[in-house]
Structure 1
Amino acid sequence: MKLYTTAYLILSAMVLMIVIPSCKKSFLDIVPDNVATLDNAFANRNEAEKFLFTCYNALPNDANPDFNPGINTGDEFWVYWPVQASDYASLDPFNIARGFQNKVSPGMNYWDGFGGRSLWQGIRNCNIFLENIDKPIDLEPYMKERWVAEAKFLKAYLHWYLFRMYGPIPIVDKNLPISASAEEVKVSRQPVDSVANYISNLLDEAAAGTTTGLPDKITSLSTELGRVTKPAALAIKARLLVTAASPLFNGNADFNGLKNKDGKLLFNAAYDVNKWKRAAAACKAAIDAAEAAGVALYKFIPTFQDMDEDTKLEMTIRNTVCEKWNKELILGSTASTRAIQMTASPNFDPNNFNNGLRGQLAPTLKMAELFYTRNGVPINEDVTWDYANRYNLRATTADDKGLQSGYSTVGLHFDREPRFYADMAFDGSKLFMQNGLFKIQSKLEQTSGRKQTLYYSVTGYYTKKLINWNLVVAGGTTTENYPWPIMRLGDLYLLYAEALNESGDLSTPLVYLNKIRARAGLQTVERSWTNFSTNPGKFANQSGLRDIIHQERLIEMAFEGSRFWDLRRWKKAASMLNQPIYGWNVATKSFAEYNTKVLLYNQTFIAPRDYFWPIKENNLIVNPNLVQNAGW
């Protein structure tokens, strides 16, 4: 809901033009006499709170796959091509995934504004708020301190969002006055380390205070869900510092030549292990604050008693994301998740077909191969699992967990870990919903299969993890909204394990990895690798443990918009996103034909260019102090 007035929009646009002249002109030349001023905007407590909500409104809508850069832009999902532009708010994500990013009119251009969100304008609104919050005379001091902390968090988060996309960015700590000269408004990008330190310090300021400022948790559930807490600020700081310590930013010689017009280097090519130690300390502080506030790994508690243990485990995994405001969530978006649920879900009820259930959010075959075996190790390492024949058809029995009995599917789908069956659906799998257990049968013209040229899974897989189990199809489709998880405790545990390992601690990471694995129904890393892996000592050295941590993270965080950014910060995108995209032959009816591996696209990633977004070319003309990212 847009809470700002026309006056706020006009003023924000004017300030934006002053500070970043590369943005488009979108304000009126003449302001009518009766338009409210900033004095009106901060005349009292209620008006000031409205302006604070304006700052919140600048946050990108990550709950919608059309606007989240981490969803359809990589190799996690794929869609048939061409698609109808009318079905999506933007085709930018699909074009980026296909290698069609450009600098003339960049896709998902959050620098200039995208999806109804202008991040630089949002930063400036935060500055306006901080500069004027002393004006309301009826604002209680304790509330003012909290609102100031919220505005500082939002300003830090918007800088962070741009930093992750573009690397070195300008820092806009204060708005320039109307009287600023033309040279003053021609801002320059700041070095990576300076940007990371600035955001980190701002988050520290937001999280400061023991009795005032940000609350430890939200207590007014009817009015304040989605607002920032102290654990949320510390968790975003942890993510920022882990990113800044990662190979993309820490000792990356690929960007040695990226410098400002005055010669200032924007990347530090020297690796510094202390960045990992700092990140580990930030993760631990965030974990401590979250757990003290009652945050814990989610576990599903059924409301009826006749649910078997396997189903309880599946619902624990699925509802970690889909149960509203559950105890694992640290920071969630209040934007609607209906669009992503409808795009993820196939038609599953044979008695109720609905064209709105599109199943287009289709995981790729490489995602199906990512998950562990039931023994908790990669499929190509398990000494008991038939990796060589994984694409051959096999008949299912009543003993095969996660599969329909008396059916046929490929060996890849047998004897996999619980997260595989909880996160993904496919021909021969099952979908447990609040109103029943449904069989997913998705060969041509079957209930979940392709019936037309649109609205189907091009890979044969469906994203079960993102479908709330209360979705019902009967005379229409009813969905239960849940907050999109921006940060949850499992994510934070994995960041901590990674930072510890890179700092040289090889034992403590196992504690946190095993917490995640136990929740997923797996044995410990030590037991799984010792008893089932072709490389039983893998976890005992830093390199091997790094591989384990990375894969554990890619599995646990699958389909939540994390993989896209993780592959980049690890500098693995150049290898992973230069691989073909495969799926199954979904346009056929027989078991043998359907279960045939099909090439869908030869994906390309040009390094180091594609690690960062290009700045729109025209911006460099308007502001000659801005320099373009390498390769663009």
Structure 2
Amino acid sequence: MQHHHHKKRFSLLALLLAGIASLSSCEKFIDVVPDNVPTIDNAFSIRTEAEKYLFTCYSYLPAEGNYGGNPAYGAGDETWQDESFKTIDASPMQIALGLQTAGSPLMAYWQPMYAGIRDCNIFLENVDKVVDLEPYMHSRWIGEVIFLKAYYHWQLLKLYGPIHIVDKNLPTDVSADQVKIPRMPVDTVVNYIAGLLDSAARLLPPTIQARTTELGRITAPIALAVKARLLVTAASPLFNGNADYTGFKNQDGTLLFNTTYNKQKWVRAAAACKAAIDAAHAAGIQLYKFNNSIANLSDAMKIEMSIRNAVCEKWNEELIWGSSNSRTDQYMQRLACPKLDPARLGNQDPLGQMAPTLKIVEQFYSKNGVPIEEDKTYDYANRYTLRTVAPEEGEKMQVGYETAVLNFDREPRFYADVAFDGAKWYMQNGTWNIQSRWGQNQSQKNVFGFSVTGYFTKKIVSWKFVINEGQSTSTEEYPFPIFRLADLYLLYAEALNEAEGPANADILTYVNLIRARAGLKSVQEAWGQFSNNPSKYTSQEGLRAIIQQERLIEMGFEASRFWDLRRWKRAIEEQNKPVQGWDIAQAAPAAYYRVKTLWDQRFQVRDYLWPIKSGDILVNPKLVQNPGW
């Protein structure tokens, strides 16, 4: 593989890290008043200059739609790539392989996020100097930057847990000791961020009016949605009553985790979710339905297109917040999409190497909308045996083709989200056959550009992706969905179940809205008719399991699972399971469909939080390291 094709992939995060590499000490990036004060004065002299500084504040947003900039894509267990990929997209794959260190942490947000907070503080301290700024714009800009300041603190909390809050710029004349700030307890940090988000929401517009120039900028529904996500995370087992952090404290004895469980955190989170949902609805945000006027699409295919395009149709009506600084660009889509066109198999691109793991494939429901191991009608014990595709299954699979039982009789999200040996892949320019056994069109041809499991991530590939003549591909980029409405519905259902239990009927109302869009019966109908545990949804514990699986499926391949497993404290269970796929180097079906272990992942308690770079702790001795590092 020619490495120059990967240069475009350097994320905003990597650029920021490079840009602040000269900030070698902790003091310098907390000491937030720069030396060039006349330049700051100039930056806030007139509106056009101040707007540039506003966009500088935005520029620190992590590249969440970029494989190399978001640990939730490659550092977990949802997809896997050939181990040699770690030499190119180093950080995510290396974390997945267990190579994180405190000496030189991978995908470290510490410095870039504090640099972003520094510029936000400079903006907020100086924006009143701008003489030609209309009052309504002045308020909006302040709201945007307060939000960004909150979001950068939230990113730090998510990775590191207790952090230090930088609410104000330190004056330039403070002593070195005053710059050495200790970490703050998690609950203090959560309340601080929530307060900033409330302040921002009051100042922000409900929608973007100038859609041609301002899409991606912050609105009130975004601020409220992020507050909901923050408070659900704070109420979750990682941060709410986690005995693993008993005794984790600052040098002065301040405990950094409250290890006593508090149900009120879920009550507060549920209220925040409902407020965010109400604001989103009022702004016209709704679950996406594919209503393209293309003739002859069956009902089943319209459901598939609704599932796929809820993510891939740019700026669609379900999107609460799309990332305009890290669109899900051609690189991400090339990573996910195999070489569909048999006439273009010689192309270097696309790569098709972002491979769903076997346990993720098994996570999708049966066609009856319940887990495959619970479905009374599903042949779970024989799921790895072979079956031939019948004519009535010909819309989504190749008639007469032999593939695993596991690939049959699954829910619509399975066929919308993943592709497999024997599948069909519907695109705007045609329907393509996937055949990935050894020697076939989508099998391994080179040292790069193949699926190590035999599965492909269809969900994040636009249906407008085209393999061109020569070496190139083209597709429509779309803003990465940092937040869409289905996510918020599921957060609300989860919080309500933890706060009140299954007696609250709204829980299943919101879960069932998502299931209906995915072409499934309600929880009550599906479990009642098909599950070997028909009353599962009537207990809090059973409903928790249902909501979590619904979330892992609905939010699959959208950089959600990585953080969800952490906040639920399930990563230690899931990321100690083997990474598995089919035996892709085989041509005969019976040999290909043998489960092969690709890697034995290892995850320990310390991995729930990122290490702080040991060099930063040397500079600021008041910083205590995260446990285990």
TM-score band by shorter chain is over 0.9
Aligned 1:333-482 pairs, distance under 5 A: 333-334=323-324, 335-337=326-328, 338-353=330-345, 354-400=347-393, 402-475=396-469, 476-482=472-478
Aligned 1:241-280 pairs, distance under 5 A: 241-280=231-270
Match of 2:296 among 288, 306, 311: 306
Range 572-581 or range 502-511, more displaced: 502-511
Match of 2:53 among 33, 51, 54: 51
- Which 5+ residue runs of structure 1 have no aligned equivalent? 2-8, 113-117
Aligned 1:56-75 pairs, distance under 5 A: 56-75=58-77
Shift of 1:616: 0.7
**Matching residue of 1:214:** 204
Q: Verify: 1:500 aligned to 2:502, yes or no.
A: no
**Matching residue of 1:615:** 612
Judge conservation of contact 1:22–1:623 (CA < 8 Å) in 2. Answer: no
SS at match of 1:21: helix
SS at match of 1:330: strand
Distance 1:395 1:250, change over 3 A: same
Q: Verify: 1:318 aligned to 2:308, yes or no.
A: yes
**Matching residue of 1:284:** 274
Structure ranking higher in helix proportion? 2
SS at match of 1:450: coil
Shift of 1:557: 0.3
Distance 1:13 1:61, change over 3 A: closer
Range 237-246 or range 64-73, more displaced: 64-73
Match of 2:125 among 128, 131, 136: 131
- Which 5+ residue runs of structure 2 have no aligned equivalent? 1-7, 9-15
CA RMSD of aligned residues (A): 2.0
Give the count of matched residue pairs. Answer: 605
**Matching residue of 2:628:** 631
Shift of 1:527: 0.5
Separation in structure 1 between the aligned mates of residue 292 and residue 322 of structure 2, nearest angstrom: 23
One-letter amino acid of the structure 2 residue matched with residue 361 of structure 1: M
Shift of 1:311: 1.0
What stretches of structure 1 move > 3 A for 4+ residues in a row?
12-18, 22-25
Separation in structure 2 between the aligned mates of residue 365 and residue 84 of structure 1, nearest angstrom: 21
Separation in structure 2 between the aligned mates of residue 502 and residue 294 of structure 1, nearest angstrom: 28
CA distances 1:383-427 after superposition (whole Å, capped 9, x unpaired): 000000000011111222622111011110110000000000011
One-letter amino acid of the structure 2 residue matched with residue 102 of structure 1: T
Separation in structure 2 between the aligned mates of residue 15 and residue 601 of structure 1, nearest angstrom: 38
Judge conservation of contact 2:365–2:372 (CA < 8 Å) in 1. Answer: yes
Separation in structure 2 between the aligned mates of residue 331 and residue 302 of structure 1, nearest angstrom: 23
Match of 1:557 among 535, 547, 555: 555
SS at match of 1:37: helix
Range 51-60 or range 468-477, more displaced: 468-477
Judge conservation of contact 1:343–1:361 (CA < 8 Å) in 2. Answer: yes
SS at match of 1:184: helix
Judge conservation of contact 2:459–2:557 (CA < 8 Å) in 1. Answer: yes
CA distances 1:282-309 after superposition (whole Å, capped 9, x unpaired): 0000000000100000000122221111
TM-score in terms of structure 2 length: 0.94
Separation in structure 1 between the aligned mates of residue 137 and residue 353 of structure 2, nearest angstrom: 45
Shift of 1:17: 7.2
Shift of 1:505: 3.8
Separation in structure 2 between the aligned mates of residue 546 and residue 24 of structure 1, nearest angstrom: 41
Distance 1:180 1:17, change over 3 A: farther
Separation in structure 1 between the aligned mates of residue 260 and residue 331 of structure 2, nearest angstrom: 44
Judge conservation of contact 2:356–2:453 (CA < 8 Å) in 1. Answer: yes
CA distances 1:511-544 after superposition (whole Å, capped 9, x unpaired): 0000000000000000000110010000001000
Q: Kindly, what percent of the aligned residue pairs are identical? A: 56
Shift of 1:24: 12
Shift of 1:613: 0.3
Separation in structure 1 between the aligned mates of residue 21 and residue 296 of structure 2, nearest angstrom: 62
Separation in structure 1 between the aligned mates of residue 336 and residue 298 of structure 2, nearest angstrom: 26
Distance 1:538 1:206, change over 3 A: same
CA distances 1:310-352 after superposition (whole Å, capped 9, x unpaired): 1111100000100000000000101232211010000011112
Q: Verify: 1:488 aligned to 2:484, yes or no.
A: yes
**Matching residue of 2:229:** 239
Separation in structure 1 between the aligned mates of residue 546 and residue 460 of structure 2, nearest angstrom: 25
Range 439-448 or range 509-518, more displaced: 439-448
Q: Verify: 1:329 aligned to 2:323, yes or no.
A: no
One-letter amino acid of the structure 2 residue matched with residue 344 of structure 1: A
CA distances 1:130-187 after superposition (whole Å, capped 9, x unpaired): 0000111100111000000000000000100110000000001111011011111001
Match of 1:519 among 510, 514, 517: 517
Range 399-408 or range 507-516, more displaced: 399-408
Separation in structure 1 between the aligned mates of residue 78 and residue 343 of structure 2, nearest angstrom: 31
TM-score in terms of structure 1 length: 0.93
One-letter amino acid of the structure 2 residue matched with residue 195 of structure 1: V
Judge conservation of contact 1:359–1:455 (CA < 8 Å) in 2. Answer: yes
One-letter amino acid of the structure 2 residue matched with residue 215 of structure 1: P
Judge conservation of contact 1:297–1:489 (CA < 8 Å) in 2. Answer: yes
